[in-house]
Amino acid sequence: MSTAGPAAAPADPRLARLSLNQATVKRLGVAQAADACARAGVPAIGLWREPVAEIGTAAAAKAVRDAGLRVSSYCRGGFLTGPDRTGALDDNRRALDEAAQVGSPCLVMVVGGLPGGDRDLAGARARVTDALAELAPHALERGVRLALEPLHPMFCADRSVLSTLGQALDMAETLPEAAAGVVVDAYHVWWDPGVHGQIARAGSRIASFQACDWVLPLPADALLGRGMVGDGHADVRGLRRAVDRAGYDGDIEVEIFNERVWEADGDEVVAEVVRRHLAHVV
């Protein structure tokens, strides 16, 4: 990356809250993704642990800073329901350390599903609650919020025993607000008839708002079924208005897992994210 930094697009005030989650351009490294954002006038980026680990937190923080961006989130922590409790807690403390080092205000938490053969959802959720209580002091020390992300119910068994925003709030509210908040991800919550009431309840607990669309048909791997905003069935603008009414004024982070998007040119993907943001989100 040039020491002079990438040529930035002219500032558009409508993009002031737009962030690109790095997963949307999965095949780009941290510096490449940050430069693509700067060229498109996107002022923030959500980072992932794996590409950050490839270059180290100091180099990742510098790449973001050199591009003139801020970090909107750090993905991801969690997976607290398995048999190795000590290992999971240690890994999440490391993730909180990394999040602080790259300048992220929150660590996105995908809390974990059910271990093989386990059918005890209540027990798994209790293990998550207990683990979060142990992680909260470290989160407070690092100044990084644990951002609990409820996932669509189809991921309950393997990825997250939190399926609704209400469940995530119930858990977050057992901890200090500075230690724990929630993620409102359009892909995961758009279907919930109670989501607008829960967003209003969340208020200042909202740590992140993520935008993408629910497109059909779902692929064989449903995790890769996210689409560009405007291509599917989620009322992303309605959700954005709801989080705004609740007092959230943070970043609107576009996170898309989609093989077709990953295969496209990174600059073209970011440019399309900008176009969709202007047409369907703000």
Angle at 46 between CA 104 and CA 208, to 5 degrees: 75
Q: Which of 84 and 3 is assigned the larger pLDDT?
A: 84
Average pLDDT, the chain: 96
Q: What is the model's pLDDT at position 182? A: 99
Task: Name the DSSP letter for residue 26.
Answer: T
CB 189 within 8 A of CB 195: yes
Q: What are phi and psi of 257, to 5 degrees?
A: -105, 110
Inform me whether the pLDDT recorded for 9 exceeds 90: no
CA distance 26 to 4: 25
pLDDT in tens, 42-64: 999 999 999 999 999 999 999 99
CA distance 86 to 80: 10
Q: What is the model's pLDDT at position 54? A: 98
| Cβ-Cβ contacts under 8 Å for 19 (sequence gap 6 or more) | 42, 43, 44, 45, 46, 72, 73, 251, 252, 253, 254
Task: Name the DSSP letter for residue 155.
Answer: G
Inform me whether the pLDDT recorded for 145 exceeds 60: yes
pTM summary value? 0.95
Task: Determine the 3-state secondary structure of 213 from DSSP.
Answer: strand
Inform me whether the pLDDT recorded for 3 exceeds 70: no
Average pLDDT, integer, range 235-241:
98
Inform me whether the pLDDT recorded for 1 exceeds 70: no
| CB burial readout 232-260, b (16+ within 10 A) else e | bebebbebbebbeebebebbbbbbbbbee
- Write out the E strands in the chain: 18-21, 44-48, 70-78, 106-110, 145-148, 180-185, 206-211, 213-214, 226-227, 252-254
- Tell me the percentage of the chain whose pLDDT exceeds 70: 96
Inform me whether the pLDDT recorded for 120 exceeds 80: yes
Burial class (CB in 10 A: 0-12, 13-18, 19+), 82: middle
| CB burial readout 84-120, b (16+ within 10 A) else e | eeeebeebbbebbebbbbbbbbbbbbbbbbbeeeeee
Average pLDDT, integer, range 133-161:
98
Strand partners, 108: 75, 147
Q: What is the model's pLDDT at position 2? A: 35
Q: What is the model's pLDDT at position 11? A: 76
Task: Name the DSSP letter for residue 117.
Answer: T
Q: What is the model's pLDDT at position 129? A: 98
Banded model confidence at residue 186, pLDDT cuts 50, 70, 90? very high
Inform me whether the pLDDT recorded for 6 exceeds 80: no
